[in-house]
Amino acid sequence: MSIFSSYQKLNNQYRWMLCATFVFNLGFYMLIPFLAGYLKQDLLLSATLVGIVLGVRSFCQQGLFLVGGLLADLFGAKTLIVIGCLLRAIGFLLFLFAQITPMLFIAAFLTGFAGALFTPAAQAYFAKQEMISRAQMFSLVGVARNGGELLGPLCGLLLLNIGFDILCIVASIPFLIFTVIFTILLPKSAISSHTKHNTNTSSKNISGMITRVLGNRGFLKFSAIMMGYFMLINQISFAIPIHIVNQSGELQDVAWVLTLCAIIAICLQFPVTRLCERWLAPQHWITVGIALMGLSFGSLVPDWPFNEGILYYVPLSVLAIVFTLGTMVSFPFIMSQISDLANNHYVATHYGFFYLFAGVGLIAGSSIVGLAFDLSDISTHLAWYCLMAIGLVSAVLHALLMPSHVEQEQSRLTHPSTH
């Protein structure tokens, strides 16, 4: 089954949702990577103020995922998806008034909060479809996300040459369109039938929902282990740029790694997921994927004899290929297992909690790698040793601590009959 035939099996609602996922990432990477430079160079804001603004945006997204998940389970995924699209459009438009400091912070808040509302609701909505396997569904989501990440900076750069105001307006238009589309297209209660059974007040209130998630030991254990995955996932855009700068490299070298990762994922994500489903169980692929992500940084440990020319890109290319292979074999199964461990109850809330663990992992990973670079006098390769250790330890913990019955249940749920 090809990516196109699987896409054709989806109904119009899920096809539009995949388009929205692409647009969310396209719009984000079209505007946000250039925001700091515009605020600092064009508006002459202080670096401290720019850092605070970007920090507010990040916190409002990572820190409020749980709020978005809770609200999605309370009011339905459709409501949160529509509001998330609308708030992202408003947030981008408000950057037109970035010279007004209060307006700048409001724009940063709305932009981040929109992601916190949209993402858990969208993930829960993707998890409940039964037309293709969950792993294949999240594989398509991964392709859409990487497509947006690849094209976003290019589109943003082209629009920025015209003007920052034009960039903000163009970036906001698709979200306004999707607000209308999802208002009309998505069903009124885009929640699973399992969730609909729990309509009594005591089980539906926020306290009951949080208690249920906190009582799900298997989910909490899995989320804690997956912090290792998120410690690694951010290093292509954090550790690699620092390494390239330390080696007196150019910004185009960073772009090369990011572009290569995105192209590989776009072209191979779905075929790789299909092959993984045929061979080993999902649990095994999560373990293998995290281990590969960590081991990929080993390509930078040897002292390569070439510092220029095409051979200079060999270790970076090896890292990009192995790292992306690791994410391709693990990401779809990680995302599908969250729903499995939630037992299809309060799925959006589980995704919200999961992203809290992810946020901790992102911060911890950046902190550890940053410290390792600062302590490079101990070993010039200390950062790579740390990342390799994080990958291997996380993989071993996952293999040892996740019970076998979860593997059997996930295998059953990720291979539903198609109809």
pLDDT digit string, tens, across residues 91-127? 999 999 989 999 999 999 999 899 999 999 999 899 8
Element holding 334 (H helix, E strand): helix 314-342
Residue 204: predicted pLDDT:
52
Same-domain check for residues 110 and 184? yes
pLDDT tens sequence across 53-82 = 887 887 788 778 989 999 998 888 889 999
Q: Which residues contact 414 (CB under 8 A, 6 or more apart)?
A: 133, 134, 135, 277, 282, 333, 336, 340
Does 398 map to a domain?
Answer: yes
Reported confidence tier of residue 364, pLDDT bands at 50, 70, 90: confident
Single pTM value for the model: 0.81
Q: Compute the CA torsion angle 35, 38, 41, 46 (nearest 10 deg).
A: -50
pLDDT tens sequence across 262-294 = 899 999 999 999 899 888 888 899 999 999 999
Same-domain check for residues 47 and 112? yes
Reported confidence tier of residue 200, pLDDT bands at 50, 70, 90: very low
Same-domain check for residues 230 and 379? yes
Instruction: Quote the tokens at residue 129.
Output: 């479809």
Does 390 map to a domain?
Answer: yes
Does 178 map to a domain?
Answer: yes
Reported confidence tier of residue 307, pLDDT bands at 50, 70, 90: low
Same-domain check for residues 249 and 343? yes
Q: For residue 405, is pLDDT > 60? A: no
Q: For residue 335, is pLDDT > 60? A: yes
- Using DSSP's 3-state secondary structure scheme, residue 226 falls into coil
**Domain boundary pick from 143, 175, 191:** 191
Of 44-48, 150-154, 352-356, least confident by mean pLDDT is 44-48
Q: For residue 378, is pLDDT > 90? A: no
Please choose, from the candidates 118, 84, 81, 142, the residue with its C-alpha nearest in 3D space to the C-alpha of residue 289: 142
Does 208 map to a domain?
Answer: no
**Domain boundary pick from 157, 191, 225:** 191
CA distances from 186 to 115, 117, 133, 179 (A): 19, 16, 21, 11
Instruction: Quote the tokens at residue 298.
Output: 């080993």
Reported confidence tier of residue 234, pLDDT bands at 50, 70, 90: confident
Of 206-210, 307-311, 325-329, least confident by mean pLDDT is 307-311
Instruction: Quote the tokens at residue 166.
Output: 């034009």
User: CA angle, 296 as apex, 293 and 297 as ends, to 5°?
Assistant: 110
Does 207 map to a domain?
Answer: no
Of 231-240, 379-388, 395-404, which one has max mean pLDDT? 379-388
CA distance 300 to 315: 6
Environment class of 311 (CB within 10 Å of its CB; exposed 0-12, middle 13-18, buried 19+):
exposed
Q: Which residue in the block uniquely carries the two structure tokens 């970035």?
A: 98
Q: For residue 377, is pLDDT > 80? A: yes
Instruction: Quote the tokens at residue 378.
Output: 């101990």
Same-domain check for residues 100 and 235? no
**Domain boundary pick from 191, 208, 239:** 191
Reported confidence tier of residue 150, pLDDT bands at 50, 70, 90: confident
Residue 292: predicted pLDDT:
96
Instruction: Quote the tokens at residue 320.
Output: 């990009």
Same-domain check for residues 184 and 330? no
Reported confidence tier of residue 7, pLDDT bands at 50, 70, 90: confident
Number of domains in the chain: 2
CA distance 406 to 282: 10
Same-domain check for residues 172 and 257? no
Q: For residue 414, is pLDDT > 50? A: no
Does 200 map to a domain?
Answer: no
What CATH code is carried by the domain that includes residue 133?
Answer: 1.20.1250.20
First CA to last CA distance, the chain: 14
Same-domain check for residues 307 and 346? yes
What mean pLDDT do residues 26-30 have? 86
Q: Which residues contact 159 (CB under 8 A, 6 or more apart)?
A: 30, 166, 167, 170, 171
Same-domain check for residues 13 and 82? yes
Residue 409: predicted pLDDT:
45
Max Cα distance, the chain (Å): 68
Same-domain check for residues 162 and 262? no
Same-domain check for residues 66 and 185? yes
Does 1 map to a domain?
Answer: no
Does 206 map to a domain?
Answer: no
Identify the domain containing residue 332 by its residue range.
216-419
Element holding 233 (H helix, E strand): helix 227-233
As a whole number, the mean pLDDT across the chain is: 84
Give how far the C-alpha of residue 308 lies from the chain's centroid of Cα atoms, to the nearest Å: 33
The string of DSSP letters for 52-72 reads: HHHHHHHHHHHTTHHHHHHHH
Same-domain check for residues 181 and 224? no
- Give yes or no for a contact between 299 and 315, defined as CB atoms under 8 angstroms apart: yes
